[in-house]
């Protein structure tokens, strides 16, 4: 009976993780479509319903007209056009609230029924707190685009996305702990190398968030060369030098390319040394597919469909390496 209950909890955590997966993809779409700055206020407790009357829609629209995005990008747009960008951001925020309920209510039930051991109550409650903190961080990110420039800070965007990946991985890992108990590859696969691949995948994703935040994917739309050069000029044109890795479009795109290629090569090498292990095959496969999608996204100048697929691919890569490390290290 206890094993059955733990597997139910594991499946519940996997379900919440899939909701977070969809949340990340939906968040990427709001950014790609310019919808992320359409809601200029934040009501975490009372903001469950959209405007329900023409007067309420007009009030929300008037608030938006005071934002830099309206003044500098969408000046003169109609109420109907505003609704088109409003709905995606509203759904993104609503989905976050639904995730909170999907996690919080079953958690209370499992604790009250005694299904969760005392050792696991605190970690699970910690995941709930992390989810709430992610919502706060999301609003902190949005606020950066509501002041002077109608673009969110690439630093806050990267932090928001990076934190989402940490929360997602924690849900997957904890779900595996409940569902499986222990991994099956301890001693069979080098734990240091598997951890290196997980860390490198995370750093590559973080670098990709900087690319997104600076719209760096809209430049140098060739591969493998950048403007006809393998190593482009202008990598360190800004000062101090370290800011180039966060604010120089050339450097930001170049480092994402280098990290992605390094991850691809190391994943293939890792597979060749452990090709008999299914999860290692999965890791290598998703990395190769992600590389193809990433290159196609770049060459086609970041169409929304491919860009969204690329972000989802990053989550799949991170999922695979999280799973691998659980099997190796738990």
Annotated binding site for heme: 256, 310
Q: How many CB atoms lie within 10 A of CB 265?
A: 11
Structure tokens given for 32: 């790609």
Binding residue ranges = 256, 310
Which structure tokens are listed for 140? Answer: 């902190």
To 5 degrees, how large is the angle CA 315–CA 320–CA 324? 145
Rounded to a whole number of angstroms, the distance between the first and last alpha carbons of the chain is 23
Give backbone dihedrals phi and psi of 229, rounded to 5 degrees, phi first. Answer: -125, 140
CA dist., res. 187 & res. 328, Å (int): 7
Q: Which positions ≥6 away from 11 have C-beta within 8 Å?
A: 175, 179
Query: Using CA atoms in the order 45, 87, 163, 191, what is the torsion angle rounded to 10 degrees?
Result: 130
Q: What SS3 class is residue 92?
A: helix
Which helix (H) or strand (E) is 262 found in, with range?
helix 249-273
């Amino acid at each position: 009976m206890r094993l059955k209950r733990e597997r139910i909890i594991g499946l519940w955590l996997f379900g919440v993780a899939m909701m977070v997966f969809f949340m990340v993809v939906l968040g990427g779409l709001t950014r790609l479509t310019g919808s992320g700055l359409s809601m200029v206020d934040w009501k975490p407790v009372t903001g469950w319903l959209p405007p329900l009357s023409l007067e309420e829609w007009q009030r929300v629209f008037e608030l938006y007209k005071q934002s830099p995005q309206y003044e500098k990008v969408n000046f003169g747009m109609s109420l109907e056009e505003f609704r088109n960008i409003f709905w995606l951001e509203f759904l993104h925020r609503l989905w976050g609230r639904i995730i909170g309920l999907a996690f919080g209510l079953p958690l209370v039930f499992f604790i009250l029924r005694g299904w969760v051991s005392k050792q696991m109550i605190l970690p699970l409650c910690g995941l709930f707190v992390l989810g709430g903190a992610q919502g706060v961080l999301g609003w902190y990110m949005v606020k950066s685009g509501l002041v002077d420039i109608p673009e969110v800070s690439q630093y806050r965007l990267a932090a928001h996305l990076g934190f989402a990946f940490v929360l997602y991985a924690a849900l997957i890992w904890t779900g595996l702990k409940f569902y499986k108990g222990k991994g099956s590859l301890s001693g069979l696969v080098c734990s240091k190398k598997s951890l290196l691949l997980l860390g490198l995948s995370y750093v590559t994703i973080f670098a990709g968030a900087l690319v997104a935040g600076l719209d760096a994917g809209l430049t140098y739309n060739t591969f493998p060369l950048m403007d006809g050069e393998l190593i482009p000029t202008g990598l360190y044109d800004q000062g101090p030098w370290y800011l180039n890795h966060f604010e120089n479009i050339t450097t930001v795109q170049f480092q994402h390319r280098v990290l992605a290629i390094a991850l691809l090569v190391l994943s293939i090498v890792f597979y060749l040394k452990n090709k008999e292990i299914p999860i290692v095959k999965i890791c290598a496969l998703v990395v190769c597919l992600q590389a193809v999608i990433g290159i196609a996204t770049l060459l086609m100048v970041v169409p929304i469909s491919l860009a969204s697929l690329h972000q989802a691919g990053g989550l799949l890569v991170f999922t695979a390496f999280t799973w691998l490390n659980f099997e190796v290290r738990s």
